[in-house]
Amino acid sequence: MFETLILILDATLRVSTPLILAALAGLFSERAGIVDIGLEGKMLGGAFAAAAAAAVFGSAWIGLGFAILASVGLALIHGFACITHRGDHIVSGVAINTIVAGLTITLGLDWFGMGGQTPALSGDARFLTITFPFADALADVPVIGLIYSELLSGHNILVYLAFALVPATYWMVYKTRFGLRLRAVGENPHAVDTAGISVAFVRYRAVIICGVLCGVAGAYLSTAHNAGFLKDMSAGKGYMALAALIFGKWRPVPVMFACLLFGFLDAVAVRMQGVVVPGIGEIPVQAIEVLPYVLTVLLLAGFIGKAVGPKAVGRPYVKERA
Amino acid sequence: MSQAKVPVWVNVALIPLLNIMLAFAVSGLVILAIGENPIEAAGYLIYGAFGYEEGIGYTLYYATNLIFTGLAVSIAFKAGLFNIGGEGQAYIGGLGVALVCLWLDSSMPFIIIMPLAVIASALFGAAWAYIPAYLQARRGSHIVITTIMFNFIASSLMVYLLVNWLKEEGRMAANSRTFAENAWMPYMHEILAPLGINISDSPLNGAFILALICCAFIWGLIWHTRWGYQLRTLGTNATAAQYAGIDNAKVTIWVMLISGGLAGFVGVNEIMGVNHNLLLNFTAGYGFAGIAVSLMGRNHPIGIILAATLFGALYQGGAELAFEIPTITPEIVVVIQGLVILFSGALEHMFKDRIEGFFIRRAA
């Protein structure tokens, strides 16, 4: 029983990682007032770029670099549309998701001729797991040994990076000057403008950070969690990250817990397949899978707390002229 | 800025044309990048879509789905609501159609099944849109997010129903049983044959007529009724609408019910018209394509028919293209769709403001 729990939690960490990265990405963007439906597309684009570059250059790190480049490129298109041209944030996000969904397959087929997939990655082309010191030696120690060797040790570097980024994001958003401006731009851009700070520049930087994080999330999917790019491999994770962002009320630590909760449900759903629960019977996997979305809807409706986003989110900023 | 000085044709023809030319140009670059000739590709595409009768039939069959989802997105747009949940609503609409067909196909004639299935598709689609609408109108949750969530909920629900309840015994794939033929929507070539018009066989079916009726109905509803005026007022300025005594919440809910019902009609075309059984993922992105169609079509039924035909042609021509040039996948159509959404939606102001400015200066 205890071992099963540890294994589920271990899977939870792995599944939550891309959600955390993407949700933090969304946090930077939305805190600056830019709605980001395009997390999914940027993640998918990053996953494709990472796998393609890793396959060509044989290095997961180069893959990561290309993932970030691709994702930031998409983020800049979003920024160009939403910030410079005051376009509709949602429409722009939908456009990016659609373009990437088509482009990854079109380019993938041309480059690798494998029906839109990339070649299977191995060795240096993947982010491999890091084993903590003494993990094997301690594995037999009751309770602690299992926690240390299974749960904490044995993940790849991007998993640890994702969790390290949570306090880093907290510090950046709440304790730095940039963070203050970021939040102010999302709440009251006029005030920021009055203070002589460029709203557009702050927002562009937020969008770029968002791109970087989505790129990492994508690289994780294709070069760490899986060994190569598969068609539509983000499979709604971007939207789930968006749900987690709302569920965590746009704050880093609650967002992380929301991602962990959603990841946990995912891990449980896999485990529950065909398992008969005494007294209840077989719980349909779909019922568990659908919980994150249902919970988010309930939260948004104010049935379990209330989700209030940044005030100026989704509104283009127009500098007033005298 | 956009007072009456800008000629009408600029807004209804020039700008949409310019947007789509740009989308095509960038798609052409993509085709160039993968080492193929865009002009040659365009040739195959046009031939595949319009070059022969069967191709035209396919084009219009795809267009039927896009008219439904395009109208669904655009009526919501008119009221200032972004219905991103067309995909889920169409999916659930298909469930409604399938339930009626599965239930009645052994005991009732077509003439009774058909209207019931059409009504069921609309009711199911509308019901799926009702919850996000209600939550937006009465509880202040954002309709974009809730409709996205409802797409996923619909998808899970359908997997559950198909795998556990509706799957045909002894079959591996999660499909329902095939309906008896009296629950099939007749094909267009069958409808036209008794009238002495002979066309090639294609999946184009009676749902196309339903789509055209919907266009006329929506046109009348939006521009020629009191309620349509309220809807447009809500979309233009919600605060003003409130002051004018319009019940914004009520209008919001009704608009979304109609929008969901329209999306639900995709089920009539796909399930009753072509597949004749309920299957997974039959909506295949039509809900999202509807966004591109409504943006292209300037939220007007005539524009939507034209845009849907254009996109239908891309779907059909894209399949032909993929057959002729195997390095190009049909997904190139998805890229074009995305670019259309980008240029005519998100980057709207980039061109519109400049072009309008040009004409205003010239008029002055």
Domain of residue B276, residue span: 70-302
What Å distances lie between residue B184 and A179, B92, B104, B120, B170, CA to CA? 60, 19, 12, 15, 23
- Is beta strand A155-156 parallel, antiparallel or unpaired with respect to A276-277? unpaired
| Model pLDDT for residues B74-119, shown as the tens digit of each residue | 999 999 999 999 999 999 999 999 999 999 999 999 999 999 999 9
What residue of A is the nearest CA neighbor of B157? Answer: A286
Angle at B331 between CA B328 and CA B333, to 5 degrees: 100
How far A150 CA lies from chain B's nearest CA (Å)?
31
- The arithmetic mean of pLDDT across residues A65-94, rounded, is 95
How high is the pLDDT of residue B173?
Answer: 82
Residues of A in contact with B85 (CB under 8 A): none
Task: Tell which of A48, A96, A99 to mutate to test the B interface (max B CBs under 10 Å).
Answer: A99
Residue B108 in domain = yes
Q: Could A91 and B291 be called an inter-chain contact, meaning their C-beta atoms sit closer than 8 Å?
A: yes
How far A247 CA lies from chain B's nearest CA (Å)?
12
Residues of B in contact with A116 (CB under 8 A): 329, 331
Alpha-carbon span A8 to B15, nearest angstrom: 54
Q: Which residues of A touch B (CB under 8 A)?
A: 37, 77, 80-82, 85-88, 90-92, 94-103, 105-107, 109-110, 116, 236, 239, 242-243, 246, 284, 286-287, 289-290, 293-294, 296-297, 300-302
Residue B244 in tokens: 């004018």
Where exactly are the structural domains of chain A?
15-238
Residues of B in contact with A293 (CB under 8 A): 149-150, 152-153, 156
Q: How confident is the model at residue A184 (pLDDT cuts 50, 70, 90)?
A: very high
Please write down the HEC assignment for all residues of chain A. CHHHHHHHHHHHHHHHHHHHHHHHHHHHHHHCCCCCCCHHHHHHHHHHHHHHHHHHHCCHHHHHHHHHHHHHHHHHHHHHHHHHCCCCHHHHHHHHHHHHHHHHHHHHHHHHCCCCCCCCCCHHHCCCEECCCCHHHHCCCCCHHHHHHHHHCCEEHHHHHHHHHHHHHHHHHHHCHHHHHHHHHHHCHHHHHHCCCCHHHHHHHHHHHHHHHHHHHHHHHHHHHCCCCCCCCCCCHHHHHHHHHHHCCCCHHHHHHHHHHHHHHHHHHHHHCCCEECCCEECCHHHHHCHHHHHHHHHHCCCCCCCCCCCCCCCCCCCCCC
Q: Could B35 and A92 be called an inter-chain contact, meaning their C-beta atoms sit closer than 8 Å?
A: no
Residues of B in contact with A102 (CB under 8 A): 331-338
If one compares A300 and B179, the residue with the highest pLDDT of the two is B179
In sequence order, the β-bridge partners of residue A130 are A155
Contact assessment for residue A204 and residue A57, using Cβ atoms and an 8 Å cutoff? no
Residue B330 in domain = no
How high is the pLDDT of residue A138?
Answer: 80
Residue A201 in tokens: 């520049």
How high is the pLDDT of residue A45?
Answer: 97
The beta-carbon neighbor of A95 closest among B153, B346, B349 is: B346
Chain-centroid distance of CA B195 in Å reads 29
The DSSP string of B56-125 is HHHHHHHHHHHHHHHHHHHHHHHTT-----HHHHHHHHHHHHHHHHHHHTTTS-HHHHHHHHHHHHHHHH
Using a 10 angstrom Cβ sphere, with 0-12 exposed, 13-18 middle and 19 or more buried, the burial of residue A71 is buried
Sign of CA dihedral B20, B25, B29, B35: positive
B79-116 burial by CB neighbour count: b if 16+ within 10 A, else e?
A: bbbbbbbbbbbbbbbbbbbbbbbbebbeebebeebbeb
How high is the pLDDT of residue B162?
Answer: 93
How far B263 CA lies from chain A's nearest CA (Å)?
18
Residues of B in contact with A239 (CB under 8 A): 148-149, 152
Q: Could B146 and A297 be called an inter-chain contact, meaning their C-beta atoms sit closer than 8 Å?
A: yes
What residue of A is the nearest CA neighbor of B322? Answer: A106
Residue A160 in tokens: 């640890």
Q: Could A98 and B142 be called an inter-chain contact, meaning their C-beta atoms sit closer than 8 Å?
A: no
How high is the pLDDT of residue A322?
Answer: 45
Alpha-carbon span B213 to B202, nearest angstrom: 21
Residues of B in contact with A106 (CB under 8 A): 30, 34, 328-329, 331-332, 335
What residue of A is the nearest CA neighbor of B329? Answer: A106
The beta-carbon neighbor of A289 closest among B139, B140, B156 is: B156
Alpha-carbon span A244 to A171, nearest angstrom: 20
Residue B20 in domain = no
Contact assessment for residue B135 and residue A300, using Cβ atoms and an 8 Å cutoff? yes
Residue B332 in domain = no
Q: Does the structure show a pLDDT above 70 at A251?
A: yes
How high is the pLDDT of residue B2?
Answer: 46
Q: Could A297 and B141 be called an inter-chain contact, meaning their C-beta atoms sit closer than 8 Å?
A: yes
How high is the pLDDT of residue B8?
Answer: 83
Task: Tell which of A207, A300, A317, A321 to mutate to test the B interface (max B CBs under 10 Å).
Answer: A300
Element (H, E) at B218: helix B207-224
What residue of B is the nearest CA neighbor of A306? Answer: B141
**Phi/psi-derived region of residue A319, left when phi > 0, alpha when psi is between -120 and 50, beta in every other case:** beta
Q: Does the structure show a pLDDT above 70 at A321?
A: no
Alpha-carbon span A273 to A265, nearest angstrom: 12
Residues of A in contact with B156 (CB under 8 A): 286-287, 289-290, 293
Contact assessment for residue A121 and residue A224, using Cβ atoms and an 8 Å cutoff? no
If one compares A195 and A132, the residue with the highest pLDDT of the two is A195
The residues near B247 (Cβ < 8 Å, ≥ 6 apart) are none
Residue B271 in domain = yes
How far B134 CA lies from chain A's nearest CA (Å)?
10
Residue B87 in domain = yes
Residues of chain B with pLDDT under 50: 1-2
| Model pLDDT for residues A255-279, shown as the tens digit of each residue | 999 999 999 998 988 888 777 877 7
Using a 10 angstrom Cβ sphere, with 0-12 exposed, 13-18 middle and 19 or more buried, the burial of residue B326 is exposed
Total of domains in chain B: 1
How high is the pLDDT of residue B3?
Answer: 52
What residue of A is the nearest CA neighbor of B77? Answer: A91
Residues of B in contact with A109 (CB under 8 A): 327, 329
How far A177 CA lies from chain B's nearest CA (Å)?
31
How high is the pLDDT of residue A320?
Answer: 67
If one compares A154 and A180, the residue with the highest pLDDT of the two is A180
Q: By C-alpha distance, which of B136, B155, B128 is closest to B285?
A: B155
Task: Count Cβ–Cβ pairs < 8 Å, chain A vs chain B.
Answer: 150
Distance in Å from the first CA to the final CA of chain B: 12
Q: Could A98 and B338 be called an inter-chain contact, meaning their C-beta atoms sit closer than 8 Å?
A: yes
| Model pLDDT for residues A20-55, shown as the tens digit of each residue | 999 999 999 999 999 999 999 999 999 999 999 999
Residues of A in contact with B349 (CB under 8 A): 85-87
Q: Could B139 and A301 be called an inter-chain contact, meaning their C-beta atoms sit closer than 8 Å?
A: yes
How far B358 CA lies from chain A's nearest CA (Å)?
18
For residues A34, A39, A42, A44, the Cα torsion angle rounded to the nearest 10 degrees is -170
